[in-house]
Structure 1
Amino acid sequence: MTESYVIHVNRRWQTEESTISDFSVENTDLKGYILEEKGPSSAQAGMQLRIPAGEYNLVWHHGGRFGPKVPKLFNFQVSPGRLILIHPGNDASDTEGCLIVGHSRKINRVESSKLKFGQLMKLLEPTDLSKSKLIITEDFQ
């Protein structure tokens, strides 16, 4: 079992409603899509915009409507208090800056989110999440 993972999120498609990325977990077969808020990117809370590209630390967020624990990301620009979580959902109405995982994508939507979130959690749950990282890059089409 690996003690840590690097999750790569590459932003590829954006509309006036949302941003969709490819994602993969280094040294695994796990990949899919992530839906976030629309751009431009902002480190400021309460703007309903995606977070800036960059490298993020991960910790467990306990409690809340998405289950007993979900991954939370933060860095020097985006504080842990902004509550940027990785969780299931389908479209921009399901996020306030969080990252929503999905198995497939449509315009402004990801599908089979609970399935893909379950696969990600199965991988991350046994680890010390604080040793893992999430890296967001941008390569828009």
Structure 2
Amino acid sequence: MRQSNMEITVQRKRFTPKSTISDVSFDGNFAGHILEDTDRGLSQAMPLSEIQERKVHGKTAIPTGRYEVAISYSNRFGKMLPLLLNIPGFSGIRIHPGNLATDTEGCLLPGLSFGENKVLDSRAAFANWMLRIQGALRKEKVFITITK
């Protein structure tokens, strides 16, 4: 019998000119926060040309929408990391540890708590999330939905 998918929900809540901080839930249960680059109002439903027009390379949060998550080897980080698939206008978007907006070029940085333009305890949050995503992928698909 087919299991249901794991659903990760990212609700963007805190916006500054330098970063976006969201609340994160795994299957409806609060799991921490995510730090991203500046939200420039992009949506998965927009034409690609509009996404590319608004995007500032390395300083833009990915479009809101629902994306499948896989785990693959990152050459940049030299280890296995979650990868978000098929994001219009973006590639190589991963979930990885980091604390500041300057630590991301569109990627999602996990944290257990947050401050202005930063998340804290990122390695601890990442280790927990990685185990949960790996476990889920053994039996089901994993999706992440980013909303405002």
TM-score, normalised relative to structure 1 = 0.83
Indicate conservation of the 8 Å contact 2:71/2:134, yes or no.
no
Structure 1 residue 78, shift from structure 2 partner: 4.4
Q: 1:97 aligns with which of 101, 106, 112?
A: 106
Q: Label 1:78 to 1:61 Cα distance change in 2 as closer, same or farther (>3 A).
A: farther
Q: Label 1:49 to 1:112 Cα distance change in 2 as closer, same or farther (>3 A).
A: same
Q: 2:83 aligns with which of 42, 62, 72?
A: 72
What's the CA shift string for 1:27-51, capped at 9, x where partnerless? 5x45100000012145447352011
RMSD of Structure 2 on Structure 1 (CA)? 2.3
Structure 2 counterpart of 1:31, one-letter code: A
* Separation in 2, partners of 1:76, 1:106: 28
Percent identity between matched residues is 36
* Separation in 2, partners of 1:63, 1:84: 10
Q: Which structure has the highest strand share of the two?
A: 1
Indicate conservation of the 8 Å contact 1:20/1:108, yes or no.
yes
Segment of structure 1 superposing worse, 57-66 or 14-23: 57-66
Q: Partner of 2:22 in structure 1?
A: 21
* Separation in 2, partners of 1:66, 1:56: 22
Indicate conservation of the 8 Å contact 1:3/1:128, yes or no.
no
Indicate conservation of the 8 Å contact 2:70/2:83, yes or no.
yes
Aligned length: 134
Q: 2:93 aligns with which of 76, 80, 84?
A: 84
* Separation in 1, partners of 2:22, 2:99: 14
- Which structure: larger Rg? 2
Structure 2 counterpart of 1:38, one-letter code: T
Structure 1 counterpart of 2:38, one-letter code: K
Q: Partner of 1:52 in structure 2?
A: 63
Q: Could you tell me which runs of 5 or more consecutive residues in structure 2 were left unpaired when the two chains were aligned.
A: 43-50
Asked if 1:63 corresponds to 2:98, the answer is: no
Alignment of 1:97-116 (within 5 A): 97-116=106-125
Structure 2 counterpart of 1:56, one-letter code: Y
Structure 1 residue 67, shift from structure 2 partner: 4.8
Structure 2 counterpart of 1:8, one-letter code: T
Structure 1 residue 76, shift from structure 2 partner: 5.7
Structure 1 counterpart of 2:24, one-letter code: F
Q: Partner of 1:11 in structure 2?
A: 12
* Separation in 2, partners of 1:78, 1:37: 15
Indicate conservation of the 8 Å contact 1:3/1:127, yes or no.
no
Structure 2 counterpart of 1:127, one-letter code: A
Q: Partner of 2:146 in structure 1?
A: 136
